Structure formats: C-alpha cells, structure tokens
Amino acid sequence: MQLLKQFWLLAKPYWINRAHWFTWVLLALSIGALLSVVEASVWLNTWNKEFYDALVDLEFDKIQPLMFEFCVIIAIIVVLMVYGQWLQQLVIIRWRTWFTEQLISQWMTDKTYYRMTLGDEPDNPDQRIAEDARLLTSDTISLFVGGIQAVAVLFAFTRILWDLSGQLSFEWNNETFQIAGYLFWVALVYSIVGTLVTHYFGHPLHKLNFAQQRKEADFRARLLRRRDSAEQIALLKGEATEQRQLKNSFQFIASNWYSLMNREKKLGLVVNSYHRVAMMVPLFAGIPALMAKSITIGGLFQVRMAFMKVYAGFSWFVHNYAKLTSWSATVERLGTFTDAMQQQHQAQNIDCQTSMQWRELTVQRPDGKPLLEGMNIELNAGSHLLVSGASGLGKSTLLRTIAGIWPFYEGQIFQQQGETMLLPQRPYLPSGTLHDCLNYPATQTVSNEQLQQVLQLVGLDELAKDVEQTGEWQQVLSGGEQQKFSLARALLAQPDTLILDEATSSLDEATAIALIELIKQQLPQTTLMMVSHQAVLKPLFERHLDLMPYGAAKA
C-alpha cells in the first residue's frame, strides 16, 4: 500500500496535468493497438479449429484459402504489435523527459543538491535521476499496458474456453457431479497455484534488486571519483590502493549478484516448469471432451490456444514477477529521493537590507555543535572586511552561511541588497570554451572583447588571445592561474557583495596584493569580505575580524 502511495506521488503530477493530453492520446492508441491484437488472436483461434479440422478431414480445397487467411491475420497482428510498441515507447520518452526535468529542477532549486550532501543524503542521486527515472517510466508503462492486455485476453478467451469446455461429468460417492466450463477452472486453479509458488520463491528478489542497483551505482561513482582525482592519485602513487578499493567495491556487486542469480535460478526453475507444463495441460484436460466427442481434433487445438491465453492472462503476475520486484525497488528509491529533496526545501531564506548584518549569529556543524558563537556585525555597502582566524575554526563555514547555502545556524543574517558572489579557494572551471567557462554561469551575454579585457587585467594575457579555444580548464590551468581566472569572473559579474574565501592563497604575495587592489579599484561600490591567512593583505582592508573558537569575535 505504501509502495502504491509512493508511486502515485511520483506519477500524479505528470498524468493529471492537462498539458499532457497528447500523451494520454498516444497511450490510448497504444492500448487500442494491443487490444486489437487480442481481437485478431480470437480470429486466429477460430482459424485454428477450421485449419486442423480441414487437415484431419483431408479437405485440401479448404486449406489454401485458410493459409491465405493465416497470412492476413499474422500481418495484422505484426503491424499492430510493432506500432503498439512504438507508441508505448513514445509515451515513455515523453513522460521520462518531463520526469527527469522535474527531478533536475527540484534537485537544483534552493541549492538542494548541495544541502543534501550536508545530511543523510540518499545514495547516488545521479543514478536516481538517470537510471531510476528511466526504469520507473518504462517499467510502469509496459506493466500497465501489459496488465490491460492480460485482462482483455482473459475476457476474450474465457468465454471461448468456457463454451468449448462443455460439461465434465464424474461420479464420486455414488453421486454424479457436473462441472460447467471445467477447462476454465483448470486454468484458474493452475494459475493461482503458480502465482503463489512464484511469490514464495521470488519475494526476496525485491531486496536483492534494490541492493544490486545501489551497489552498481556506488561502483560507478567510485570510478568517476578516481577519474576526477587522477593527477593526485598518480602523484601519490596510489594505484595499488585504488585498485584494492575498486576491487572491494566490485566484490559487493559480485556477491550480491550471486545471491540474485541463485534466487532467479530458483524462480526460473519454477516459472519455466510451470510454463512448459501449461502447454500440455489443456491437451490432457481436453481428452475427456474429445473422448465424449463433444469436441473435434481442431476443437482440441482451439481449446489449447484458448487455454494458453486464459492461463497467460491469469499468469501475468508470474511472468512479470522479476520486473515487478525491480519496479518496486525503483519506486522506493525514487520515493525516498524526492522525499529527501522536499525536506531540504524547508531551509531558511536570507533576507536583504541596505547593509550586511549578523545579529547574535552562531554557526554550527551539521550535527548541531557550535563552531562560532554570538557574532554581531554591520558592514556598510562598499566597505572592505578581512576575516582571519586559525585553521578549522569555521571561516569557510561562516562564508557559506552568509552566502545562504549553509542552513545550520542560529541568530539573524541580512545580506546586502543586490547580487552576492562567493569565490572559493578552488574555483569550479567547467570544460568547454574559455568564453563559457569565464562567463559561467552565464547570466548575461558578454562580448569577447570584455572577456579579453578582464583576462588581461588579472594578468592572463596568454589566455586572452583566444577566448573561443576549448579545453579542460580545471586540469590545464595552474592553481594560481585558476584563482586569477576566478577573480576575472568577479570583475565581469560586478556583484554588489563579493565574498572571497582564500581566493588568492595560491598566488605570490605581490600578485595577491595587486589583484585585491584591482578589485577595489574596478568595483568601488562592491562590499568586499575576504577570508585569508595572508597577513600582507591586512592593510588593504579598513575592517578586520579575528575569529576566536566558540568565543566572542572582535570586530
């Protein structure tokens, strides 16, 4: 029940939205095509009787038109099945596109992607957005349409099977019993037993599938992390350790895989035996009717096909058991992911005033332990503040709090009105053209000349020559160059408040001084707040804040 509720919460926003009426049309057409296949199968069923009867009676003049009829029925079935499937895939991609966009938007809104890393983040959000969204949409549609088709098959063939079965008479305890539509009852009982046995053998698959998806994603994430840190690993000669860790991570996949495959083997033994036996059950069960001459040989083949269809309808659950368990694992994973995202949205928003202010501000770690306590400050627009203090005291965390991305604090914060920009010690440089990298996150269009100008101002003349060149800038540029590049971004963006977190730590002292002076000169209206261990920068700031551990701050 909980699972269905979780599923409904995930599916509802798309399917009740009127804007998606065309997807409903496509879904209806796809279901219509597959229901027509059921209708054509009923036609094929009648054909079966006529054909086998003609064969038994050696009526060759009937066989030729029947062969032509067969070709027509098969052609119709093939075309309907292929187009039905094609329409289903269209429905899937439309839903998946919307669903993935929603997940990405929720993940990106209010810095949720970052806040989630601060608490008990559900594992591998990348996998949930990419893989789980794909599985949810494709499995739901194929299970839903398949389920409807199974019900239609049941309706269409139950009647046929019932009529063909006639009545079975038998004596027991000197009494005569008659069972109408007995082949239908055989199919029903056979399918119920199969379903129960399948569930008994298959139910542990849910947990195993869940674990498998998670472990595969962990392994992929580990590999990615190695690629991102390739240079550091190479310099530290960490290959053997990395190899061991990756091997261990893969061991988890392999051991879970063994459990999964053993469980699937047991289930396979049951499902396959059940299916193979099912093919002969109608022939054996039809013998009494054949002996009573209530059906012909053609009728027996008709019974067999009708029985197999009714059995297939009743056994839909059995045949889709593995898919259903993987689907339920996907729903659970996506449900916890979206719940976790929604909880993140409750983080506080920071209000704006004419000046930046903190009142009785206490910054904490995620576990609630205080880092910095009782801070009060007011920083007028255009003023410059240097924040210093011992390593690990909480300076970067304080800046994150002021920038509005760290939710663990008490007291009041007001940001200065306008744009705030925070430059960290290690800037993020996306790969692509230098133009796009410098203009990241591209809130305005800037000309190449503007870009060249700011690059020259910060001393990156070589890069300024061709801003359209592409590269892996994070790897290509030195630490110091990256910091110059980051400051060039600030010159370009001209924020109202600029927060620098050791943004000149990789530069020599003279260059660091020159660049801070450049910022002050180029952005005279901007409020500048900087965290730095570089004492030579002190004279450039008219206000200083020396942070003390858990104590009062002197401003």
Positions touching ligand ATP (CB under 6 A) are 118, 365-366, 371, 391-397
DSSP states of 452-519: HHHHHHTT-HHHHT-TT-EE-HHHHS-HHHHHHHHHHHHHHH--SEEEEESTTTTS-HHHHHHHHHHH
Query: Smallest distance, Å, CB 363 to ligand ATP?
Result: 8
Cα-Cα end-to-end distance for the chain = 58
C-alpha span between 301 and 252 (Å, rounded): 50
Which residue number, 365 or 538, has a Cβ lying nearer to ligand ATP? Answer: 365
Supply the minimum distance, in Å, between the C-beta of residue 391 and ligand ATP. Answer: 3
- Residues 6 or more apart whose CB falls under 8 angstroms from that of 316 comprise 146, 147, 150
CB nearer to ligand ATP: pick between 392 and 432:
392
**CB contact at 8 A, 430 and 436:** yes
Give, for 363, the enclosing helix (H) or strand (E).
Answer: strand 356-364
Q: Return d(Cα 443, Cα 447) in angstroms, integer.
A: 13
Closest CB 199 distance from ligand ATP, rounded Å? 44
CB of 309 to ligand ATP, least distance (A): 59
Residues whose CB is less than 8 angstroms from the CB of residue 67 and which lie 6 or more positions away in sequence, other chains included: none
Give whichever of 187 and 529 is closer to ligand ATP, judged by the CB atom. Answer: 529
Q: How many CB atoms lie within 10 A of CB 263?
A: 20
Whose Cβ is closer to ligand ATP: residue 180's or residue 535's?
535
CB of 425 to ligand ATP, least distance (A): 7
How many Å apart are CA 446 and CA 493, to the nearest integer? 10
Q: In the complex with ligand ATP, which residue's Cβ is closer, 392 or 430?
A: 392
CB of 377 vs ligand ATP, minimal distance in Å: 17
Closest approach of ligand ATP to the CB of residue 390, in Å: 7
In whole angstroms, how close is the CB of 395 to ligand ATP at the nearest point?
4
Question: Could you give the residue ranges of the DSSP H alpha helices within 109-132?
Answer: 112-118, 125-127
What distance in Å separates the CA atoms of residue 269 and residue 264, rounded to the nearest whole number? 8
Residue in the structure block whose two tokens are 């659970």:
332
* C-alpha Rg value of the chain to the nearest Å: 35
Closer residue to ligand ATP in complex, CB, 154/386: 386
CB of residue 118 vs ligand ATP: minimum separation in angstroms? 5
Instruction: Write down the residue that tokens 């599916």 correspond to.
Output: 11
In whole angstroms, the minimum distance from the beta carbon of 243 to ligand ATP comes to 29
Pick between residue 149 and residue 532 the one whose CB is nearest to ligand ATP: 532
Q: What's the token pair of residue 317?
A: 């659950």
CA distance 104 to 126: 10
**Long-range contacts of residues 229-232, Cβ cutoff 8 Å, at least 24 apart:** 231/475
Backbone φ, ψ for residue 171 (5° rounding): -105, 140
The dihedral of CA 321, 325, 331, 335: what is its sign?
positive
Output the smallest distance, CB 392 to ligand ATP, in A: 5
Asked if 455 and 481 touch (Cβ cutoff 8 Å), the reply is no
Nearer to ligand ATP, 158 or 397 (CB): 397
Nearer to ligand ATP, 121 or 218 (CB): 121
Cβ-contact 161, 45 below 8 angstroms = no
Nearest distance from residue 422's CB to ligand ATP, in Å? 13
Q: Are 355 and 380 in contact (CB under 8 A)?
A: yes
Q: Which of 454, 461, 539, 529 is nearest to 499 (CA)?
A: 529
Nearer to ligand ATP, 95 or 406 (CB): 406
Between 371 and 379, CB nearer to ligand ATP: 371
Minimum CB distance to ligand ATP smaller for 40 or for 371? 371
